[in-house]
Amino acid sequence: MSESPHHALDEIQAALADAAHRVVMDQGATLDLDLRDDLLGLTEALELFIPGLDPPADPQAARQLAAASSAALIQGRPRIALARALRGLSYSAHHAELFYLASSACFELGATTEAVRLLAHTLWINPGHDRARREMEAISAYDDSGSWWGPEDLPGDESGGERAA
């Protein structure tokens, strides 16, 4: 990544657009392993930026793509939903609803690790996101090992702020 945080955010947004294209082009039943790794890496890279500090490139496009992603999920087209959510994130990298929709699509595509990580990132951006909070609590109720969601991952705690600082 480059020295300038703004430039690095541009690089992340370009990588999200590329990931959206890769999702559509891949016709497999599940997500490609390289793409899954990229989703986790991009999500981690975004945690170096404070949500709301940098203005979104195109918030209107992000809202439209969120609506399109939601419609694709309702229609049972998770691959299209994920591609639209990722493309929307290329316009607004800290859009909590787009991360939530990407998480839902990943669950549908069998990418559970990525889905849970995207869900946690949704709550990092917006701890008050009701649907994400309910889903994370439901997952946690069935996770005896504590491997999905631990106390150190709770949005709003000191570790989240330290990541962005």
Number of CB atoms found within 10 A of residue 86's CB: 30
Q: Which CATH architecture has domain 5-164?
A: Alpha Horseshoe (1.25)
What pLDDT score was predicted for residue 159? 44
**Separation CA 16–CA 101 (nearest Å):** 14
The closest alpha carbon to 69, from 48, 47, 92, 51, belongs to 92
Mean of pLDDT values over 2-29: 84
Average the pLDDT over each of 25-29, 37-41, 86-90, 94-98 and give the range with the smallest value.
Answer: 25-29
What contacts 135, CB < 8 A, 6 or more positions away? 103, 119
Q: Quote the CA–CA distance of 104 and 144 in Å, as a whole number.
A: 22
For the packed helices 78-91 and 5-25, what is the interaxial angle rounded to 10 degrees?
A: 160
Instruction: With CA atoms as reference, report the closest residue to 42 among 82, 17, 62, 12.
Output: 12
Phi, psi for residue 47 in degrees, rounded to 5: -70, -5
At 103-129, the pLDDT tens digits run 999 999 999 999 999 999 999 999 999
Of the candidates 64, 32, 47, which has an alpha carbon nearest to the alpha carbon of residue 117?
Answer: 47
Banded pLDDT at 52 (limits 50, 70, 90): confident
Average pLDDT over residues 134-150: 73
What residue spans define the domains of the chain?
A: 5-164
> What's the whole-model pTM score?
0.83
Query: What's the pLDDT at 150?
Result: 52
Summarize pLDDT for 10-23 with one digit per residue, the tens: 999 999 999 999 99
4 φ/ψ angles, rounded to the nearest 5 degrees: -80, 125
Choose the weakest-confidence range: 63-72, 94-103, 148-157: 148-157
